[in-house]
Amino acid sequence: MFTENQSRQLYVVTDNAADAAAIKESPAAGKIALGETSDGKELFFVHRGYTDDGLQRSDLVNKCNIMSISATAAADMAHKKSKYEITLDANVSANPIVGQAYILNIIIKNYIANGDDSIKVKFGATKAMSTDKSALFKNLALNLAKNFSREPVPVIKITLKGGDGTEITNKTKLSDLSETTATGIIIEEVEQPWRLGAAKQEFVNLDIQPSTVFDGNTDQVWGVVTDVTSTNNAVIPNSKKIADMEYFYHKNRGDIYGNMCWPLNIDTKYLVNSDLAAGYSTIDIHYYYEGNSHNVGHSEKTITLVGEHAKMTALLTKITTKLNGYNVTVNKSASWG
pLDDT tens, residue by residue, 218-229: 999 999 999 999
Q: What is the pLDDT of residue 80?
A: 96
The 10 Å Cβ neighbour count of residue 257 is 12
Distance CA 168, CA 18 (A): 53
- What integer is the mean pLDDT of 294-316? 93
- What integer is the mean pLDDT of 178-202? 94
Proportion of the chain above pLDDT 90, given as a percent:
79
pLDDT band at 53 (very low <50, low <70, confident <90, very high): low
* pLDDT tens, residue by residue, 79-138: 999 999 999 999 999 999 999 999 999 999 999 888 888 999 999 999 999 999 999 999
Q: Is residue 63 scored above 70 in pLDDT?
A: yes
Q: What is the pLDDT of residue 222?
A: 97
Q: What is the pLDDT of residue 263?
A: 85
Distance CA 44, CA 37 (A): 8
Mean predicted lDDT score pLDDT of the chain: 93
Long-range contacts, 142-147 (Cβ 8 Å, 24+):
142/168, 142/172, 142/174, 144/104, 144/106, 144/168, 144/185, 145/169, 145/170, 145/172, 146/170, 147/122, 147/123
Which residues does 173 contact at the CB level (< 8 Å), separation at least 6?
Answer: none
pTM exceeds cut of 0.85? yes
Distance CA 281, CA 301 (A): 20
* pLDDT tens, residue by residue, 316-326: 999 999 999 99
* pLDDT tens, residue by residue, 293-303: 887 788 999 99
Q: What is the pLDDT of residue 195?
A: 94
Which residues does 132 contact at the CB level (< 8 Å), separation at least 6?
Answer: 95, 96
Distance CA 196, CA 227 (A): 31
Q: Which residue has the higher pLDDT, 265 or 312?
A: 312
Proportion of the chain above pLDDT 70, given as a percent:
99
Q: Is residue 173 scored above 90 in pLDDT?
A: yes
Of 130, 236, 219, 135, nearest to 177 (Cα)? 135
Distance CA 80, CA 82 (A): 6
Q: What is the pLDDT of residue 258?
A: 79
Q: What is the pLDDT of residue 50?
A: 81
Q: Is residue 253 scored above 90 in pLDDT?
A: no
Q: Which residue has the higher pLDDT, 7 or 140?
A: 140
Q: Which residue has the higher pLDDT, 261 or 205?
A: 205
